[in-house]
Amino acid sequence: MPAPRRPKAIPDRAPNPFKPGAPPPPRIRIQDPTPAVDGGAWPAKRCVGDVVRVEADIFRDGHEVLKAVVRHRRVGARKWSEAPLERFDRHLGGDRWAGEFTVEGQGRHEFTIQAWVDFWGSWRDELTRKAAFGQDDLSGELSEGEVLLRGAAEQANGPAKQLIDRALKTLSEPKAPQEAKVDAALGEELDAAVEACQSRLEGTTHAPNLEIEVDRVLARFGSWYELFPRSFGGFTGVAKQIPTLKELGFDVLYLPPIHPIGEKNRKGRNNALLATKKDPGSPWAIGHHAHGGHDAIHPDLGTLADFDAMVAAAKAHDIEIALDFAIQCSADHPWLTEHPEWFHHRPDGTLKYAENPPKKYQDIYNVNWNCDDWQGLWSALLDILKYWVGRGVTVFRVDNPHTKPLGFWEWAIAEVRKDDPDVIFLAEAFTRRKIMQALAKLGFNQSYTYFTWKNTAWELREYVAELAHGPEADYFRPNFFANTPDILTDYLQHGGPAGFAIRAVLAATLSPTYGIYSGFEHFEGTAREPNSEEYLNSEKYESWKRDLDGPLLPFIARLNHARRAHPCLQRLDNVSFLGTESDALLAYAKRTGDDCIIVVANVDPHHPQEGTVIVPFESGLPPSFTVEDLLSDPTHPAVYDWRLGRNFVRLDPAHQVAHVFVVRAA
Amino acid sequence: MPAPRRPKAIPDRAPNPFKPGAPPPPRIRIQDPTPAVDGGAWPAKRCVGDVVRVEADIFRDGHEVLKAVVRHRRVGARKWSEAPLERFDRHLGGDRWAGEFTVEGQGRHEFTIQAWVDFWGSWRDELTRKAAFGQDDLSGELSEGEVLLRGAAEQANGPAKQLIDRALKTLSEPKAPQEAKVDAALGEELDAAVEACQSRLEGTTHAPNLEIEVDRVLARFGSWYELFPRSFGGFTGVAKQIPTLKELGFDVLYLPPIHPIGEKNRKGRNNALLATKKDPGSPWAIGHHAHGGHDAIHPDLGTLADFDAMVAAAKAHDIEIALDFAIQCSADHPWLTEHPEWFHHRPDGTLKYAENPPKKYQDIYNVNWNCDDWQGLWSALLDILKYWVGRGVTVFRVDNPHTKPLGFWEWAIAEVRKDDPDVIFLAEAFTRRKIMQALAKLGFNQSYTYFTWKNTAWELREYVAELAHGPEADYFRPNFFANTPDILTDYLQHGGPAGFAIRAVLAATLSPTYGIYSGFEHFEGTAREPNSEEYLNSEKYESWKRDLDGPLLPFIARLNHARRAHPCLQRLDNVSFLGTESDALLAYAKRTGDDCIIVVANVDPHHPQEGTVIVPFESGLPPSFTVEDLLSDPTHPAVYDWRLGRNFVRLDPAHQVAHVFVVRAA
């Protein structure tokens, strides 16, 4: 065989594409950091005091030891804080790192991940393995360690520098035995000293930063009560109820629109097309030619001073007033004449009322978001929000936000919260999930949910698990309303008092924020007609005489007090469902630190149901423990001995629809 | 009660933050388009002729009808092509749209999504509903339609314009009866005409564009054979085997490194620390002071002309040569003296060989990727790749890419494929999943996998389902090697001939690309020592005398021919696993168009196993059909009557390890 010829020159010598002297591209990769909503397009949501768990994939080619931290700060702050990340799935051959920090203040925060090569740690690891194996000659290795230590010494000072210098002296002493040098190099104190001062070589930082919107705790946890002020004697009457609402354990008092109601085309009782003289009209038909629009108060409810007094009374009792923000105008709204350019017109020039063919809403005019003066319209709407914030309103329940441009909400919520970060927006959107998610992502602090129609155990398990543990957990905060003036569910129509009690327990213990609309505690459950979710003689079209005397209120108060006493009920992310061996029993545990609640509910309002609650080993509970039912009479509490594994439960809705057990040590 | 005062002026009038005359922000949202690897950070991979299914969430506030298209083109092309998108989960209340297009040419493609409001369609929908409901006066609605039609008429020409003008005439005729106007407005031909020419109002395009790397089909589908040329008489001997390899159905012939092997510190038989004079050394110890490095050929294998002749012979038989690209140098490599600056040095200036403490690889020197002249090193490595491409090499099997900087591969693969988009890179990385994924994302066209160690039915189901249907499906193309010179699995050591046959069936029918290393067909299964995956007397350290005469080859040829004859075996994304009522039987169907294969394998090489193959209704197969076993004698094929539901199967590994059924119409 002839001697091989080595090719003389490689053809197509590739031109060097890099800048002379440039460092090599980073070798560490940082990927998929969380929390990140849509890859970081939107801020994740947290509340003041929350521990934020941060994760990321961090890896590099080769075998060097890596180190990583999360860097975090308030947006606008100069200095970063740092917390360490650890690779937590090493035993699975994974590259996922995690760490955590606490968000202390309200407002927008940002974080990023930084990783670097721990050359000292890599070298130390190598030397440890070689020394353990008994390698004879370690002089080459030790000479490398000397170089690393010299580098560290340059950065160090104080006791750290003394430690490093001492080790360096041993390593550089030609006559010192190898064993002494190895011992000196592997000392744990030395390790800590070098670690603290070594440079972050190959330091790589994830870009862009990811954001977290930190709200006050009311954004996550609160008990809401909704009432029509006209049924309680206007603002002055409502103010008188505040101490009772406080005793009942409510945090937010939500009022449907308080503005003047149109006279033209007013709807009558039960949504009749023609109103009689006595019919007060729907509060959602906002605006009256004489009394004003969204910035005015209905004369029947009182004066602005009465309103202010009600807000002050609420504030004195730590209750917040939530107003309804409904962007629509009655046929009588001043804007129809002052700003006709903000509304839809037919080609013949006439104004166009709202429709959902074949339904017509002659009493309501929607604004034309695509009008030429959209900027004027947006500004006027923002002015309204800011006006009420100026009068002490801190919460808005936004009516049907999904029929208004998403971009408007993004802008308006940011504008309001720029000056008043305390203000909380609740999205009343019952629509397709993606749109509800989009509203939450763009800034709504809370959202109405599908809870209203989730009645069976499996539906509730599935839905709540999605909210608590799926991607929505980072940005979609549920507000579980058990009923609303618009929604009298089939379940409440046919479940009787037990049905109301069950829904109260579920709403109040599944979701950290929940609410009821007055009438709930009176078991009001008659629909206007079959297959309708409208109330017969709906309060939307009438004035009632109401008082806080419903028979279910003491039960609800007990729930509210349990919610307040038990931090674990103030979160959603800690819920885990338990097996019950029954289709009709729903059981779940919530645990935060030492505080643990186990709820068992019979979702069948008509029949006694029995089964077991299976407490798993992973619950972390001891083999046996005591549970005390917070729904039982506190002077003679019902107490049971429970254990890991199966615990028998029987719930007869005629007597008791659910247990809300607090777990006590055995 | 005193008359309410309307507040005179809203305080804090918000300044208008928008540019005067600017249009309102877009109301349509386009989210989560797919395919998108890491949200679009990396291109998705497809092959020429593939149908690309595109999806996105598309929605807008309100009730207007939306339309959407995917726009796609080759990167660099001026014109976009379009294909329609349809909302496919409307019945579930979803907002997910999908459409598809075919990628015809090789290279980088890009696509985006465009959506707009179909005001004509929205109006038509409203009029249809109102007319069906029997609304009396539709004059307002018809006047709106007239405006829309006039807009369309301005864009239209030809027959479309005539249609629109005719409808306009009817609509604007004061004496025409309303019914005639409605009929004219709702005509289907008119609808098509208006649709074709209406402007894309509120048109919104997703940014940035998403990329697709389109490879030739060999990147997805190919049968690989690996041999050591020194065991087959060098390049000339290998060239003689090409026709046989072709008959056996192989597409790629992969050769371990063909370069000169170092003499200094050469390893002997069974990885002995000292080689004898006769030991040829490991081909992965690349480089010899006299014969050259990565751009040279081992003198024992032949001349450059012999190499070229082998490549030409392969090409003539439609077989491609895959070279090994291993970035490491023997103790004898010319670079160690020519470019000592590219290697690791101890502080005392000596070169540092490879180690994985306590293991030492004195015969191998790794390059120092962090050296000052990293640019020179990168360029030299690229030159080597380009040199072999210039000599007709179209496939590289890259040795241990995970111990080299990811950024290097990203750059080098792009540089090679810029000029030669035919070149395919296979990543031989057996490491943590995230790193294997990262290599695939950055440009490797194929990857070694964990298949080698997935032996039970459940492991295979889980792993293959992840590759076929998980996020990796978009960028990670598996190459299922059944054995390699480095990996003699426990299963092959103890499974006997049946074990080899089972692994061949699984590799060849689960993955569109698979491979074997010669010795497989001889059932070579003796390990060097217990608990080792190294072969006893490994060919890595010896020269053998081999021929393509292994007893399993006819069986493998049958598999290869089935793979070539059946398009459904050339894909991974079409696999669905079938129930078997047996832990030891693995069954799966692959279907592409009318072509359908059902594989049943007994993964237990030691015992007969029986069970059923459950063909589900969703398979789309008729209630009863015939299956023919492609592994049976083609002159007397085994044929069975099968049906939807359970089909009994018994497989005795002593006689038959698997069925590869082609489904024939009943």
Q: Is residue A163 over pLDDT 50? A: yes
Task: From chain B, pick out residues whose CB is under 8 angstroms from the CB of A292.
Answer: 4, 6
- CB-based burial of residue A323 (10 Å sphere; 0-12 exposed, 13-18 middle, 19+ buried)? buried
Q: Is residue A488 over pLDDT 80? A: yes
Sign, CA torsion A178/A180/A182/A185: negative
A233-244: average pLDDT: 98
- Structural contact between residues A206 and A56, judged by C-beta atoms closer than 8 angstroms: yes
Q: Do the chains contact at A357 and B130, CB–CB below 8 Å?
A: yes
Task: From chain A, pick out residues whose CB is under 8 angstroms from the CB of B89.
Answer: none
C-alpha distance from A239 to closest chain B C-alpha (Å): 16
Closest CB to B438: pick one of A29, A126, A260: A29
Q: Is residue A5 over pLDDT 50? A: no
Question: Whole-prediction pTM value?
Answer: 0.93
C-alpha distance from B567 to closest chain A C-alpha (Å): 36
Q: How far is CA B208 from the centre of its chain?
A: 23
DSSP alpha helix (H) spans, B524-592: 553-565
Distance separating the N- and C-terminal Cα atoms of chain A: 87
Q: Do the chains contact at A24 and B387, CB–CB below 8 Å?
A: no
CA dist B590 and B427 (Å) reads: 26
Distance separating the N- and C-terminal Cα atoms of chain B: 87
B399 has catalytic annotation: yes
A510-521: average pLDDT: 97
Q: Is residue B5 over pLDDT 60? A: no
Adjacent-strand bridge partners of A42:
A37
Mean pLDDT of chain A: 94
- Structural contact between residues B58 and B87, judged by C-beta atoms closer than 8 angstroms: yes
Q: Do the chains contact at B347 and A382, CB–CB below 8 Å?
A: no
- Structural contact between residues A397 and A327, judged by C-beta atoms closer than 8 angstroms: no
B312-323: average pLDDT: 98
Per-residue tokens: B481: 């090697």
Adjacent-strand bridge partners of B427:
B398, B447
Which DSSP category does B422 fall into? T
- Residue A198 is predicted with a pLDDT of 83
A42-77 pLDDT, tens digit per residue, is 999 999 999 999 999 999 999 899 999 999 999 999
CATH 1.10.3470.10 for domain B28-118+203-214, yes or no, is: no
C-alpha distance from A215 to closest chain B C-alpha (Å): 23
**Quick one: A575-664 is in which CATH superfamily?**
Golgi alpha-mannosidase II (2.60.40.1180)
Q: Is residue A3 over pLDDT 60? A: no
Q: Do the chains contact at A379 and B39, CB–CB below 8 Å?
A: no
Q: How far is CA A136 from the centre of its chain?
A: 60
Residue B500's identity, in one-letter code, is F
B448-462: average pLDDT: 98
Among the ranges given (A191-200, A373-382, A629-638), the one the predictor scored with the smallest mean pLDDT: A191-200
| Per-residue pLDDT band at B16 (split at 50, 70, 90) | low
Q: Is residue A1 over pLDDT 70? A: no
Q: Do the chains contact at A432 and B357, CB–CB below 8 Å?
A: no
Long-range own/partner contacts, residues A453-462 (CB < 8 A, 24 or more apart): A453/A489, A455/A489, A455/A491, A455/A603, A456/A583, A456/A603, A457/A580, A457/A582, A457/A583, A457/A584, A457/A585, A457/A586, A457/A603, A458/A583, A460/A506, A460/A510, A460/A586, A460/A603, A461/A577, A461/A586
Closest CB to A296: pick one of B6, B147, B348: B6
Q: Do the chains contact at A432 and B93, CB–CB below 8 Å?
A: yes
The helix (run of H) or strand (run of E) holding residue B412 is helix B406-419
- Residue A134 is predicted with a pLDDT of 86
Question: Which residues, 6 or more positions from B607, have their beta carbon under 8 angstroms from its beta carbon?
Answer: B584, B653
Query: 10 Å Cβ neighbour count for A501?
Result: 23
- Residue A16 is predicted with a pLDDT of 60
Coil, strand or helix: which one is A317?
A: coil
Q: Is residue B13 over pLDDT 60? A: no
Among the ranges given (A570-574, B72-76, B353-357), the one the predictor scored with the smallest mean pLDDT: B353-357
User: Looking at A195-255, which runs of residues are DSSP E strands?
Assistant: 201-205, 210-215, 222-226, 252-255
C-alpha distance from B463 to closest chain A C-alpha (Å): 15
Task: From chain A, pick out residues whose CB is under 8 angstroms from the CB of B296.
Answer: 4, 6-7
Q: Is residue B15 over pLDDT 60? A: no
Please state at what angle helix A234-248 crosses helix A553-565, rounded to 10 degrees.
60
Q: Do the chains contact at B1 and A300, CB–CB below 8 Å?
A: yes
DSSP A521-560: GGT---BSSTT--SBTT-TTSS-----S--TTHHHHHHHH
CA dist A659 and A582 (Å) reads: 16
Q: Do the chains contact at B140 and A390, CB–CB below 8 Å?
A: no
B405-421 pLDDT, tens digit per residue, is 999 999 999 999 999 99
DSSP alpha helix (H) spans, B284-373: 304-316, 334-338
- Residue A241 is predicted with a pLDDT of 98
Residue B642's identity, in one-letter code, is W
Please name the residue that has the structure tokens 């092997």.
Answer: B261
- Structural contact between residues B21 and A320, judged by C-beta atoms closer than 8 angstroms: no
Task: From chain B, pick out residues whose CB is under 8 angstroms from the CB of A147.
Answer: 347
Question: Which residues, 6 or more positions from A530, have their beta carbon under 8 angstroms from its beta carbon?
Answer: none
- Residue B3 is predicted with a pLDDT of 42
A203-227 pLDDT, tens digit per residue, is 999 999 999 999 999 999 999 999 9
- Structural contact between residues A466 and A458, judged by C-beta atoms closer than 8 angstroms: no
Per-residue tokens: B335: 């670079």
A627-654: average pLDDT: 96
Q: Of B6, B8, B136, which to mutate for an interface test with A (greatest number of A Cβ within 10 Å)?
A: B6
Task: From chain A, pick out residues whose CB is under 8 angstroms from the CB of B356.
Answer: 63
The helix (run of H) or strand (run of E) holding residue A72 is strand A66-74
CA dist B451 and B505 (Å) reads: 13
For chain B, the 3-state helix, strand and coil shares in percent, each to the nearest 5, are 35, 25, 40
Q: Is residue A410 over pLDDT 80? A: yes
B428 has catalytic annotation: yes
Please choose, from the candidates B660, B446, B427, the residue with its C-alpha nearest in 3D space to the C-alpha of residue B555.
B660
Query: 10 Å Cβ neighbour count for A624?
Result: 12
- CB-based burial of residue A454 (10 Å sphere; 0-12 exposed, 13-18 middle, 19+ buried)? buried
Please choose, from the candidates B283, B292, B299, the residue with its C-alpha nearest in 3D space to the C-alpha of residue B227.
B283
- Residue A344 is predicted with a pLDDT of 92
B362-390 pLDDT, tens digit per residue, is 888 999 999 999 999 999 999 999 999 99
Among A213, A251, A332, A428, the one annotated catalytic: A428
Q: Please state the length of chain B.
A: 666
Q: Is residue A15 over pLDDT 90? A: no
**Distances A40 to A438, A447, B46, B224 between C-alpha atoms, Å:** 14, 21, 27, 42
The helix (run of H) or strand (run of E) holding residue A83 is strand A81-87
Task: From chain B, pick out residues whose CB is under 8 angstroms from the CB of A435.
Answer: 59, 61, 95
- Residue A17 is predicted with a pLDDT of 65
DSSP A111-122: EEEEEEE-HHHH
Q: Is residue A631 over pLDDT 60? A: yes
Please state at what angle helix B188-197 crosses helix B119-133, rounded to 10 degrees.
160
Q: Is residue B122 over pLDDT 70? A: yes
- Residue B8 is predicted with a pLDDT of 43
Nearest chain A Cα to B127, which residue?
A: A357
Q: Do the chains contact at A407 and B147, CB–CB below 8 Å?
A: no
In this prediction, what percent of chain A has a pLDDT beyond 90? Answer: 88
Which DSSP category does A367 fall into? B
Task: From chain A, pick out residues whose CB is under 8 angstroms from the CB of B61.
Answer: 402-406, 435
Mean pLDDT of chain B: 94
